[in-house]
Amino acid sequence: MASLFPKPRKKLVFLASGRGSNLEAVLQAVQKGRIRGIPELLVSDNPEASAIGVGSKYGVPSKILDFSSYPQKEKYHSDLLEILDAQSPDLIVTCGYMRILKKEVIRLFPNRIINIHPSLLPAFPGLNAQKQAFEYGVKISGCTAHFIDEGVDSGPVILQGTVKITPEMTERELTLAILKEEHKILPLAVKLFCENRLSIKNRKVSIL
């Protein structure tokens, strides 16, 4: 029996720098009613990011903070903090966002920022994770949806998706296979958060 008092929808803010395919995967899930969230804002550090068009397609307003136009990079980070503070989202979702969030942002939104990373963390953190995995010669790679903490790709793991690396697979094929998994687990992680089904204890995430 459905609850007579459904939980209110969570306010969502997105950060993106590039294509926006993960952003679209989440927004599609919201549009189809799979995620009880309200996409309120997209913030991009790149005025050329295709993600801006993706947000517009789904009716999400954008705020552009052109990172390259800031002579003092600390001003960029303070402006971002001001925007996020004013927006007061329940959850921030980073979708291919290529900046490291400052500790002030992370401390303002503890366990309320979800990122998707193209490796099975803690293996291959940082940039070019697919290339790292391919060149290392691992047999299985994948992606990780995790909460952001003050380290680099070191926050509590929510979900992981795996990809088997076959001998004939190219690096590009691996990248595309991992991306398909990202499009599955990021919307699911956001869905679980919006349903209050994620619990963290001793940095271990349990799904309720």
User: Residue type for 163, please?
Assistant: V
- What does the pLDDT read at residue 8? 87
Domain 115-207 carries which CATH code? 3.40.50.170
Domain boundaries, the chain: 8-109, 115-207
Please check whether the two domains, 8-109 and 115-207, share a CATH topology. Answer: yes
Q: What is the pLDDT of residues 16-37, one digit of tens each?
A: 999 999 999 999 999 999 999 9
CATH topology for the 8-109 domain = Rossmann fold (3.40.50)
Dihedral angle sign, alpha carbons of residues 107, 58, 45, 181: positive
Known binding-site residues for (6R)-10-formyltetrahydrofolate equal 73, 98-101, 115
Burial tier of 191 (Cβ tally within 10 Å: 0-12, 13-18, 19+):
middle
User: Model confidence over 98-129: pLDDT tens digits?
Assistant: 999 999 999 999 999 999 999 999 999 999 99
Known binding-site residues equal: 20-22, 73, 98-101, 115
Per-residue model confidence (pLDDT) at position 10:
97
Catalytically annotated residues: 117
CB of 119 closer than 8 Å to CB of 133: yes
**In the Cβ-directed half-sphere of 47, how many Cα atoms lie within 13 Å?**
5
